[in-house]
Homo-oligomer: A and B are copies of this chain.
Amino acid sequence: MPRKKTEHPAPALAKAAAPVRQAPDKAKTINDIARLAEVSKKTVSRVINHSPLVHQETRERVEAVMRQFNYTPDPFARGLAFRRSFLIGMVYDNPTAQYIVNMQYGALDAIRDSGFELVVHPCDSRNPGYIDGVHRFVQQQKLHGVMLVPRVSEDQALADMLADIGCRYSRIASVSLDEASRMVITHDRDGAAEAADYLQSLGHRDIALITGPSSYRSAHERTAGFVEALSKRGIELPAARIVEAGYTFESGVAAAERLLSGNQRPSAIFAGNDEMAAGVYKVALRAGISIPQQLSVVGFDDSPLASRLWPALSSVRLPVRDMGRIAASMLLQSEPGAASVASASVRPHLVVRDSCQPPAY
């Protein structure tokens, strides 16, 4: 009922329309809380920031009021005063989608209910200006910290830049590249060794390896772990059984073609990631080589692909979500200077499916 039509509005009705003259649900500010809790805004600020310099009773009174009005401090006001934000950046360079998404879920696990949010920043490390791009991103948004995902996490120049401008960061990598408080180490080497042990234990002796690009630390580690573990068990890989590829499906196809074309085929292939393992599947299927009867295959990453191939691919799994969670929580815990004691570490493990069996000699 439009107001204008009521020629003589009853005062009572008018009052009901705007009861108690209280802004409907305007967000409370620190001043409101201070007034309602009968303290100064500075004391409320201390409670917000968990300062020990507040009397227990005072703290409880303030917290009760905050809870009652569902108060949360304005991140922009805090950001302005603190000169830094409550934003965590995730910087990455085009690994596979599932990896990125799992990593994001992990980071979000860590910051849930902390008042922090996740800002994503994919970049292209082949572009020489990409470090400047990250620099601008960090400065502009006054990021609380950034997580560096492989492969950008391996770029020392990036880490140096962040250290220079005093931005906290955490790096996820297959080996330690920095002080412990900044590293989440994934030990890819151990995962590759487990794959090697598995194939050897099945009875394979003529084994081939498709590696990722040697410029990738993870590829180097996976290769070294695999070769060393076999060597420990008395199997030396001849150079012809090691083919370097590019971590892509197509490069895996090309590598598998080389490996499977001769008349002396290996009985098993370990691929440095699942994409390349899928390439092996394609070549084998096309050539009528049946997996696992005539060829065993192991991948790395345990991507969604692994369980969708047929036969399902055995693959080394990295706990990506955990890695993301740990990398993000390192940023929340540590003060910029303070070094935490323990270095974070995570272990890969082999997920056995249907792509391997003893060789048919």
Identify the A interface with B (CB < 8 A).
27, 72, 74-77, 79-80, 85, 87, 96-98, 100-102, 104-105, 108, 115, 117-120, 122, 137, 139-142, 249, 275, 278, 281-282, 285-286, 304-305, 307-310
Closest CB-CB distance, A95 to chain B, in whole Å?
Answer: 10
B97, B102, B122, B140: the one within 8 Å of A75 (CB): B140
Verify B72–A80 contact, CB threshold 8 A. Answer: no
The CA of A85 and the CA of B142, in the complex, are separated in Å by 14
Q: Can you list 11 A-B contacts (CB < 8 A)?
A: A27-B139, A74-B80, A75-B142, A97-B98, A97-B101, A100-B101, A101-B101, A104-B120, A105-B122, A120-B120, A249-B307
Closest CB-CB distance, A225 to chain B, in whole Å?
Answer: 25
The CA of A79 and the CA of B115, in the complex, are separated in Å by 17
The CA of A281 and the CA of B105, in the complex, are separated in Å by 30
**Within 8 Å CB of A142, what residues of B?**
75-76
Residue in A75, A98, A275, A308 with the greatest tally of chain B CB atoms within 10 Å: A308
Verify A282–B304 contact, CB threshold 8 A. Answer: no
The CA of A310 and the CA of B281, in the complex, are separated in Å by 8
CB nearest neighbor in B for A140: B72
Residue in A77, A102, A275, A310 with the greatest tally of chain B CB atoms within 10 Å: A310
CB nearest neighbor in B for A107: B120
B97, B102, B117, B310: the one within 8 Å of A141 (CB): B117
CB nearest neighbor in B for A74: B80
**Within 8 Å CB of A27, what residues of B?**
139
Closest CB-CB distance, A132 to chain B, in whole Å?
Answer: 11
**Within 8 Å CB of A278, what residues of B?**
308
B79, B119, B139, B304: the one within 8 Å of A76 (CB): B79
The CA of A72 and the CA of B141, in the complex, are separated in Å by 11
Contact A286:B308 (CB < 8 A) given known A80-B80, A118-B120: no
Verify A108–B80 contact, CB threshold 8 A. Answer: no
**Within 8 Å CB of A122, what residues of B?**
104-105, 108
B79, B97, B108, B115: the one within 8 Å of A100 (CB): B97
The CA of A108 and the CA of B77, in the complex, are separated in Å by 26
CB nearest neighbor in B for A73: B140
**Within 8 Å CB of A115, what residues of B?**
140
CB nearest neighbor in B for A100: B101
Verify B139–A249 contact, CB threshold 8 A. Answer: no
CB nearest neighbor in B for A250: B307
Verify B141–A75 contact, CB threshold 8 A. Answer: yes
Interface pairs A-B: 6 shortest CB-CB: A76-B79, A97-B101, A97-B97, A97-B98, A76-B80, A278-B308
The CA of A72 and the CA of B142, in the complex, are separated in Å by 12
